[in-house]
Structure 1
Amino acid sequence: MQLVSRTIYWLFLTLLTAIGTYGAPAQRIVSTNGTLSEILVGLGLEKQIVGVDITSTYPASLEKITKIGHNRTIAAEGILTLNPDVILYTDQSMIPPAVVKQLNSSGKKLVLFRHEYSKDGAIRLIREVGAYFNAQGQAEKMVRVLQADLTKIPAPANPKKLLFIYARGTGTLMVSGTGTSLDKMFTLAGHRNAVTGFADFKPLTAESLITANPDVLVLFSSGLESLEGIDGLLKIPGIANTNAGKNRKVITMDGQFLTGFGPRLGKAATELSQKVK
């Protein structure tokens, strides 16, 4: 009798594995966005992920999953060779339209999520991905943690002017204008963008640096490393003439953490605020 009971129990577990944790058929998922990948892991779906883009760096276990490249240079063929059931992307993923068209015509399910760079946008994205995979309970757990984190962001007594510089070596450097994830993050942390005259990103010039005169320079950790540290950054024309350059006030953060606007949004804004002090 006990043997029969054990057999039924293991058959039940096998069935659960086959149909997926949340009652939906297990799917082979490709994620083209680091924030989506992080949410999927939080929903308990990591074992169903068969491919991720290179921004999918958190949690570290995602490093073991096949990479499909950077979202701007993703090729449809690389995704389709993974034989996914569903391919996820957001309106911020910047996948080339031709690739989107090719994926749509492949017969694979391509699902678009809206990703707004705001507190409400992060919460909505978590809930919508959770609803799609019938994992609303896990999604709400993530939302509750995020909401608690957002209440812990300290309000600065003296807001600073921040300037984000995107660097990959000493070639063309870009600065973040209005409307970007960096711009929204600065505001969320209680500070302001030193650049307000344009949207999106533009090449950095010595003249624009001096005009903006930021109090703090913000870079991705990998970006500052590519410039050989603060000393290398200060050699760029105009940097040493700013308040940030004169005071060597340069802070770095992990790129996905700083710009993800996902489950760790509150933690990222808190860390940025603490580093700016």
Structure 2
Amino acid sequence: MKPFMKLAGLSLCVSLSFASSAAERVISAGSGITELIVAMDATKKLVAVDMSSMVPESEKLEKLGYHRTLSAEGLLSVEPDLIIGSPEMGPKAALDIVRQADVDVEVLPQATDPEQLLKNVDTLASLLDTDSQVSDQLKQQINEQLKRIDELKGQLKRQPKVLFVLMRGDRAPKLGGGGTPADRIITLAGGSNGAGFDGYKTASEETLLSMNPDLILVNKPTMENADAAKMLVEKLPLLKFTPAGKQDRIVNLPTAALLGGLGPSALNSSEDLAKQLVEIQ
């Protein structure tokens, strides 16, 4: 009986050791990562985020600059025990200094497809030591949303042509092609990106008119989600004569949906887009 009690005591000590080593002061440097942490109701472990991250207003968190240009001094000033970031997090020199200070730095792949998104949920759940029921519930919600999007795609009579236009203040708008965050949303929703090229290119009013889009998604890079659709029509009034303009299908795409890869915001925008595409004859 005594050997068993000793073993049980040892087991308890090991268990307590692992529990005490769980991260409690976390920095999230990447909007997609922060979005998942919020969805997992684990914001209580956050002490700071980068400028691109969106958190509930009730959370009073330090903002430590943009995830590409972080400083070692800023990161260490909030005394983190774990920093989680995207592959764009940097610079490397700052992260090396933080690692030398015995702070764990973890990099998660950017989710470009549902499979990687689900893997990132599992990885975050492990890093943050969250209840497995919470991560399982989030993955179930993601899978259910993907199923709803697939069902909507099944109702499409044809593959509508969609354009994504990025507003840039006084400069000419840019058209988003293949490989862009908006393209991922369009494709997932069942639309066809009418750009016909990869990346971004400046687009004139005549170019957009000639593409004859069924729907136009618009964004102006700002965290306040300005009414970019209204701005676009005011700047390029002839767009009102495209199929998209005639059917009042020049719509805003939230900034959050374009940041940090495929995540809850991008899925929400894709589902909203899929609902609109179903209505196109």
Where does residue 47 of structure 1 map in the other structure?
44
1:143 touches 1:263 (CA, 8 Å); kept in 2?
A: no
Distance 1:78 1:187, change over 3 A: same
Structure 1 219/61 Cα, relative in aligned 2: closer, same or farther at 3 Å? farther
Q: Choose 206-215 or 158-167, whichever is displaced more.
A: 206-215
- Name the counterpart of 1:219: 218
Equivalent residue letter for 2:255: G
Matches within 5 A, 1:1-277: 24-62=21-59, 64-91=60-87, 94-96=88-90, 99-106=91-98, 107=100, 108-135=103-130, 137=132, 138-153=134-149, 154-155=152-153, 156-197=156-197, 199-206=198-205, 208-220=207-219, 225=226, 230=230, 232-236=232-236, 239=239, 242-257=242-257, 260-263=261-264, 265-276=266-277, 277=279
Shift of the alpha carbon at 1:187? 1.1
Post-superposition offset of 1:200 = 2.3
- 1:251 CA displacement: 0.9
TM-score by length of 2: 0.75
| Secondary structure at 2:272 match in 1 | helix
Aligned equivalents of 2:167, 2:252: Cα separation in 1? 12
Contact 2:85 2:107 in 1 (8 A): yes
Q: Is the 8 A contact 1:167 1:226 kept in 2?
A: no
Structure 2 SS opposite 1:267: helix
How many angstroms apart in 2 are the aligned matches of 1:167 and 1:208? 15
User: Hey, what's the Cα distance between the residues in 1 that align with 2:166 and 2:74?
Assistant: 28
The aligned residue for residue 3 of structure 1 is none
Q: How far apart are the structure 2 equivalents of 1:160 and 1:105?
A: 50
1:148 partner amino acid: E
Describe the superposition over 1:178-204 as per-residue Cα deviations: whole angstroms up to 9, x where unpaired: 11221111111111111122x222333
Give the deviation of 1:132 after TM superposition: 2.5
For 1:23 and 1:211, the matched residues in 2 are separated by 62
Aligned CA distance change for structure 1 residues 52 and 179 (closer, same or farther; 3 Å): same
For residue 65 of structure 2, what is the amino acid of its counterpart? G
Whether the aligned pair in 2 keeps the contact of 1:163 and 1:195 (CA below 8 Å) is: yes
Secondary structure at the aligned position of 2:148 is classed as: coil
Q: Kindly state the Cα deviation for residue 208 of structure 1 after the two structures are TM-superposed.
A: 3.9
Give the TM-score taking structure 1 as reference length. Answer: 0.76
Identical amino acids, percent of aligned pairs: 23
Equivalent-residue separation in structure 2 for 1:102 and 1:231 (angstroms)? 39
Q: 1:194 to 1:115 in 2, by over 3 A?
A: same
SS of aligned partner of 1:105: helix
The alignment partner of 1:111 has SS state of: strand
* Superposition deviation, residue 173 in structure 1: 2.7
Structural RMSD (CA): 3.1
Amino acid at match of 2:75: I
Q: Alignment length, in residue pairs?
A: 252
How far apart, CA to CA, are the structure 2 residues paired with 1:192 and 1:218?
A: 12
Q: CA deviation at 1:59?
A: 4.2
For each residue in 1:90-136, what CA deviation from the matched residue of structure 2 results, as whole angstroms up to 9, or x when unmatched?
A: 23xx345xx23322223232211112321212112111211223336
1:70 is aligned with what amino acid? Y
**Structure 2: gaps of 5 or more residues:** 1-15
1:159–1:190 contact (8 Å) kept in structure 2: yes
